[in-house]
Structure 1
Amino acid sequence: MGAPDEPLEERIEQLLENDSLRDDPLFQPLEELWAAHRDLARRIERISRISDAYQSLTKENEKHLTKRLDKQLRQLSKVARISDHYQKMMHDLNLALREASTHDPLTGLGNRRLLLERLKEETDRSHRYARPLSIAMLDIDYFKRVNDDHGHELGDQVLMEVSRVMDAQIRDQDMCGRWGGEEFLIILPETNISSACQVLDRVREAIAALRMRVGDESITVTASIGVASHRDADTYSDTINQADWALLTAKRSGRNRLARADEIGTD
């Protein structure tokens, strides 16, 4: 018999190896029980190995899936950045196209298309709310002579400087744009013709004060202006024609002056 402090398995094996105990009626059941125990232990060990292998495979699969997921997330993040960049480029491109289609490339002022859009809005508002609206036509005096005497490069400079001064002198609510050539149109919302004349005289005087260098000399230019007040019965085209007729009157009267459509005839 084994010592009591020996492991139980060793003590049982020692008992079963003792041939003198084979006649003991408990020997046979003990031997069968021990065989069943060892078979169960082998099965448990096999299950444990299978379980460990399965867990190892599961962890490996999880690790692989995590890597795949991280890679896909990085790809999605890259695609999102590319998409954001593309959308910003498209937005900037649309703004640039809008700017190119509505602004004069030389002066940066609104072109005829933008002016007509604003004119339609302001005349509709003037009719709807019975608010005053004035429209002015401005033309640079003797502009052809500037081009002929000094070249088109200086002519372009004159157009840019006049545009800058004009845009600086009008009010925030007003709008000026290049109508064509050396001719400009100014829209003055919420403004009767007397108040419009005060703004436009300030513009005319600021243009006359311009000095542009040509080599060792400086040149000056002046502008003539015609202004008309919009009437309910008229279209904005009618008002433009009235302002244009007033402009012609200002030029015929000696240039560098302002003429009001309501003070002259229309013939």
Structure 2
Amino acid sequence: MKQLNQSLEARITELLDDPTQQDNPLREPLGSLWANHQDLARRIDRISHISDAYQSMAKLQEQSLTERLNKQLRQLEKVARISDRYQNMMRDLNEALREASTHDSLTGLANRRLLVERLKKETERFIRYQRPFSIAMLDVDHFKSINDQYGHELGDSALTEIARVLDAEIREQDLCGRWGGEEFLILMPETRADAAAQVLERVRGAIQRLAIRAQTDSVSITISAGIAEHQPGESYSETINQADHALLVAKRGGRNQLSTARTSLTD
């Protein structure tokens, strides 16, 4: 087709340039038609160039828009990752703060605040449903002597080891915490005094078998414990006082032993 067009154009040009065709009546309209054709071809060619340029510009703009969108997406992804890390950090921080507010920093056991919260709940449950619970107060025997002879660092190690044993020996439903200094409290839900004494005897024996290394020495540790079962009409503070009194009886009886509030009141 292209060759045919070129041949036709050549024949028309040749015809118009032929001087022998000056008198041909078709020469003038053919020349006018040929001029219009060339003008139209130039316009079409110009339109084609403009169209090509527009398409190129549109393509560049599209590419530019795509690049901008991709860049914004990358920025959003980066912000999302930062947000995720920030949220994880805040969650870990909140968990650490919650842990710090309810657990002892040295032993990792429940602190006094958490113990009191649970004691209040158990007391309320006792009032509503008459479900028994017992409290045990534990104290490390001769702890001051250990600190004085071997230093507070070994004393802290002893408390940490005792806490480990307590956490391992108590039952799943029990809550053990550091009440203060070398004194620990164990809250035992659904437990009467005689069952609590069995748990505490196991705990006492396990702690007695502990041996804390102090350079070339091996330091033995024992505990004394007082147990009290919560009674109708008592507050949890009164039950703690009963357990404290039983603990005092155990210490006066020679230490490394248990005493319950029922037997201590008759001593």
- The two structures have a TM-score, normalised by structure 2, of 0.89
Query: Matched residues in 2 for 1:239 and 1:28: separation?
Result: 128
Q: CA deviation at 1:207?
A: 1.4
Conserved 8 A contact 1:138-1:185? yes
CA change 1:18–1:112 in 2 (3 A) is: same
Query: Matched residues in 2 for 1:111 and 1:197: separation?
Result: 23
Q: Aligned partner of 1:121: which letter? A: K
Conserved 8 A contact 1:245-1:266? no
Give the 3-state SS of the residue equivalent to 2:110 in structure 1.
Answer: coil
Query: Matched residues in 1 for 2:149 and 2:34: separation?
Result: 124
The question of 1:221 aligning with 2:237 is answered no
Query: Matched residues in 2 for 1:108 and 1:164: separation?
Result: 9
Q: CA offsets, 1:102-145, max 9 Å, x none?
A: 22222121111121222233333343443221111111112112
Partner of 1:83: 83
Q: CA deviation at 1:159?
A: 1.3
The question of 1:130 aligning with 2:130 is answered yes
Q: CA deviation at 1:48?
A: 0.3
How large is the RMSD of aligned CA atoms in angstroms? 2.3
Partner of 1:41: 41
Q: CA offsets, 1:66-87, max 9 Å, x none?
A: 2222222222222222222222
Mean CA deviation greater in 30-39 or 191-200: 30-39
Q: CA offsets, 1:148-196, max 9 Å, x none?
A: 2332222222212211111111111111111001100001112222211
Mean CA deviation greater in 42-51 or 83-92: 83-92
Partner of 1:195: 195
Mean CA deviation greater in 208-217 or 180-189: 208-217
Conserved 8 A contact 1:242-1:266? no
Conserved 8 A contact 1:109-1:178? yes
- Structure 1: any 5+ residue segments left out of the alignment? none
How many corresponding residue pairs? 264
Q: Aligned partner of 1:75: which letter? A: Q
Q: CA deviation at 1:6?
A: 6.4
Q: CA deviation at 1:219?
A: 2.4
The question of 1:179 aligning with 2:179 is answered yes
Mean CA deviation greater in 89-98 or 178-187: 89-98
Give the 3-state SS of the residue equivalent to 1:7 in structure 2.
Answer: helix
Q: CA deviation at 1:98?
A: 2.0
Conserved 8 A contact 1:243-1:261? yes
- The two structures have a TM-score, normalised by structure 1, of 0.89
The share of aligned pairs that are identical, in percent, is 62
Q: CA deviation at 1:199?
A: 0.5
CA change 1:6–1:85 in 2 (3 A) is: closer
Q: CA offsets, 1:3-54, max 9 Å, x none?
A: x996222222222223443444433332222222111111110000001111
Give the 3-state SS of the residue equivalent to 1:172 in structure 2.
Answer: coil
- Structure 2: any 5+ residue segments left out of the alignment? none
Q: Aligned partner of 2:108: which letter? A: G
Query: How do residues 41-120 of structure 1 correspond to structure 2 at under 5 angstroms?
Result: 41-120=41-120
Query: Matched residues in 2 for 1:125 and 1:7: separation?
Result: 109
